[in-house]
Amino acid sequence: MKKNITIFLASAVFALNLSANESITILDKKSPEFLLGQQTHINMKFVPSDAPDMWLKAGVRIQGTFESKTTTDNATNTSTTLQEAYLRRVRFEVAAGFGKHASFTMDVRNDKSNKGIDNDEGSFNVGDAYVKIKKPFNNSLVNFKLYRAKIDISRTETVKSARVIVYDRPYVADAAAQYISFNRRASNVQMYGNYKKKVHYQIAAGSASSPDKIIDATGAKATNAGASIEEQSFFYGGKIRLSPFDGWEEKKRTETYFGRGKHFSLGASYWAVPKLSGTVTNSNATTSTFDLNRELINLEVSAHYKGIFVQAEYFEFKNMVKAWDTGANATVESGTSTGWYVTGEYVMPEFNYIAPFARYESWDRFDDLNGYNVTSTLAGINWYLRGNTTKVGFVYQKDEYEINTGNEDVTSLRITSQWFF
């Protein structure tokens, strides 16, 4: 009995100490009250009582999708339907603070598990894995990230997937994510900062695209079309964002504001891979050489006022390859590809944070030639049961591909859900 009382008292003292020092936290105290409670932060934070500048964060994120997708071949006017359930994202995240200025963040992920007719489980791999050096000179103008950290090639691609309106980002933005650097986060070094939240910037250089992710205007991968990448330089570039109006500063990169506050922001970026060269052997056994200077221009604008949110982006891809399989032509032809999208959401706090949304996208994969357009129209509704911590949604999407990009129409209905802490 005495031993049990001692253990109980020790446990009580430990719990009181945790409460007094707030050494374990998860709730976002600035969050509104949703149907299931306040939103949590991404990851639970542990702070040791004897070293308050050090900490550990750990958490999970899972996104699930039930989908019915119908594909119509425009050449034959025949349709096929695939119904499936898959895990859009499965992630374990961990971060550690080494002191006042330095921390490390990483995650292990298995995205799109069980997606597709093969119902493949996929495999785990590392996503983010970077060291952050925050305010080494004790101001917000200069910060650093090293190794696997996102470069800001697109606003929607930079926003964490836990905070996007639709789990599947625009096709043109996903293409931009692979055009300069593998998954926009191949090993790099970057410097970033802001001045009073009015001006934000990022500059970076590092490892460029993966050959397996380099596609042509038809969507064909270089590695599947007999192309061999033999020389490739580092990428370099940067982005600048402005919040010109007082009181409308963008304080956090997100697409979900839950009917609170306001912001207006616009930005522009330029990224380049000065050298990407190699050979391609096409279906006629003709070998061609190519030497590309890939460039990406991105323009963004976003704003929200209470429940209304609007975001739009424009992309320009320079030295986009028309087709890796050149046929009888021994020259690898390249040109410019342009695309844009606009998305919006209206959150209704008075109806338990139900939020209808819509998105339209237009992407010309090879300018000045007919038959390379892709358009996508999307609409749906999200229900934020506990902010982004727990939410469910319904999405209707129709994609139209012209003759050189698939020559088909694809219609899908998706029921989505997300859980994280």
Task: List, as one string, the DSSP characters of 281-316.
Answer: E-TTS-EEEEEEEEEEEEEEEEEEETTEEEEEEEEE
Confidence at 11, pLDDT banded by 50, 70, 90: very low
Confidence at 284, pLDDT banded by 50, 70, 90: confident
d(CA 105, CA 90): 17
What architecture is the 21-420 domain classified under in CATH?
Beta Barrel (2.40)
Q: What percent of the chain has pLDDT over 70?
A: 94
Asked if the model's pLDDT at residue 405 lies above 80, the reply is yes
Look at residue 2 in the predicted model and tell me its pLDDT. Answer: 43
Asked if the model's pLDDT at residue 86 lies above 80, the reply is yes
Local structure of 31: helix, strand or coil: coil
pLDDT in tens, 154-164: 999 999 999 99
pLDDT in tens, 187-204: 999 999 999 999 999 999
Confidence at 119, pLDDT banded by 50, 70, 90: confident
Look at residue 9 in the predicted model and tell me its pLDDT. Answer: 38
Look at residue 22 in the predicted model and tell me its pLDDT. Answer: 59
Q: Considering only CA atoms, which of 186, 191, 192 is closest in space to residue 233?
A: 186
Residue ranges per structural domain of the chain? 21-420
